[in-house]
Amino acid sequence: MYEQQTKKAILQRMLDASPPDIDQRPGSVTFDLLSPAAIELAQAYIELDNVLRSGFASPEQPSRYLDLRVAEMGLSRLASVKAVGRVTFTAPKGTIVPAGTVVSTDDMAPIFYVTTEQAFLENGTATVDAEAREGGAAGNVAVGRIRLIQGDLTGIVSVGNENAFKNGSDAESDEALLQRYYDRVRRPATSGNAWHYRQWAMEVKGVGDVKVFPVWDGNGTVKLALLSSDKREPSDETVNNVRKAVEERRPVGACVTVVPAKEDAVAVSAKLKLEPGADLEEVKAQFAANLEAHLADLAFRDPVVRYIRVLGLLLGIESVVDFKDMTLNGGEENLTILEDHVAVVGTVNFSVI
């Protein structure tokens, strides 16, 4: 809006407003005295342009100004969530692993987890709940990634995770926060309509998406199916927090059911021809990561897992030359996911031909 307010334009206006009978040539006293002021005024116009842009919610708005803007609508950025799961300890019978024990992955930059209950290894093994020490999506690790134990039990007790850790999420991104703001101002949520229930659920930390089913079991009934921020089945804690948030604000007489989205595993098998020297395990890991991202993008948006799209993910891996007999859950056809379910990565069974 203020692009034309350059130093040159401002200086010329100031010179035009000066008495015409004084020297205004470059190098004159008048010209030299007005030039610094014109520079400062041009800078002020630049800042005015920034203020104008920051006053409206948009993808280009800096984070700190977006936080101020959405706060006017009663919104705030959701904090990060710690990944949760279970770890299994193996040690001599009778060993006690206290709650608060720190375990980790064996990466160069390890991810640390803390047990939330005591483990008594009566038969030499015990499995207990644990959570990431820090919030964030980095805590969502695959099976077998946790291998080290910290502290006095090092070398005595071994540790592993037989299931993936999940539900960890980073602090709400600008994009997600802006979308919640748009939902609030563009989709009227009043009198307990569907948008109202969605709004209440999305305000709970750890919720990544929600699907509302009005009148799902007769008049006055509402069902909410929830996804976690990592587009998986959410934890019991997150579900209970949504139930509480909705119960406090639902219309009188409404019967509300809040459930986690059920996970439907997508198992993929195929026979592959690889580039010379390619590692099959690396191909499996890369494919699983690509499939996980694809399924997360489909969650609650498209109920069909398309065979051809999964095939494209496989052939998109550079070291894969060709394939044979690729199946999804044992078939060579699309998979249809129920509305309140979410597709997740199951077993990946590749062999080399």
Asked if 24 and 100 sit in the same domain, the reply is no
Cα gap 14→29, rounded to integer Å: 13
Return the pLDDT at 299.
96
Buried b (16+ CB within 10 A) or exposed e, 24-51: beeeeeebeebeeebeebbeebeeeeee
Asked if 334 and 299 sit in the same domain, the reply is yes
Structural domain includes residue 306: yes
213 and 152 Cβ atoms separated by less than 8 Å: no
Does 240 score more than 90 pLDDT? yes
Does 353 score more than 90 pLDDT? no
Structural domain includes residue 202: yes
Residue 133 belongs to what domain range? 84-160
Does 50 score more than 90 pLDDT? no
Strand partners, 169: 81
Asked if 284 and 344 sit in the same domain, the reply is yes
CATH for 95 = 2.40.30
CATH for 192 = 3.30.300
Structural domain includes residue 225: yes
Q: Could you tell me the pLDDT band of residue 52, with boundaries at 50, 70 and 90?
A: confident
Cα gap 137→116, rounded to integer Å: 19
pTM of the model: 0.71
Asked if 241 and 273 sit in the same domain, the reply is no
Structural domain includes residue 246: yes
Cα gap 325→286, rounded to integer Å: 19
Q: Which position has the token pair 């010209």?
A: 31
Asked if 242 and 296 sit in the same domain, the reply is no
Asked if 297 and 327 sit in the same domain, the reply is yes
Domain final position from 260, 291, 322: 260
Asked if 283 and 337 sit in the same domain, the reply is yes
What tens digit of pLDDT does each residue of 87-141 get? Answer: 999 999 889 999 999 999 999 999 999 999 999 998 899 999 999 999 999 999 9
Domain final position from 199, 227, 260: 260
DSSP letters of 245-275? HHHHHSPTT-EEEEEEPEEEEEEEEEEEEE-
Cα gap 8→37, rounded to integer Å: 11
What tens digit of pLDDT does each residue of 268-289 get? Answer: 999 999 999 899 999 999 999 9
Structural domain includes residue 62: no
Asked if 267 and 213 sit in the same domain, the reply is no
Q: For residue 49, which amino acid is it?
A: D
Structural domain includes residue 165: no
Domain count, the chain: 4
Asked if 322 and 342 sit in the same domain, the reply is yes
226 and 259 Cβ atoms separated by less than 8 Å: yes
Asked if 272 and 203 sit in the same domain, the reply is no
Helices and strands, number each (H, E), in the chain? 8, 16
In this structure, which long-range contacts are made by residues 39-48, counting pairs with CB atoms below 8 Å and at least 24 apart in sequence? 39/7, 41/5, 41/7, 41/10, 42/5, 42/6, 42/7, 42/10, 45/2, 45/5, 45/10, 46/2, 48/2
Return the pLDDT at 315.
93
84 and 235 Cβ atoms separated by less than 8 Å: yes
Structural domain includes residue 59: no
Asked if 278 and 328 sit in the same domain, the reply is yes
Structural domain includes residue 149: yes
Asked if 213 and 156 sit in the same domain, the reply is no
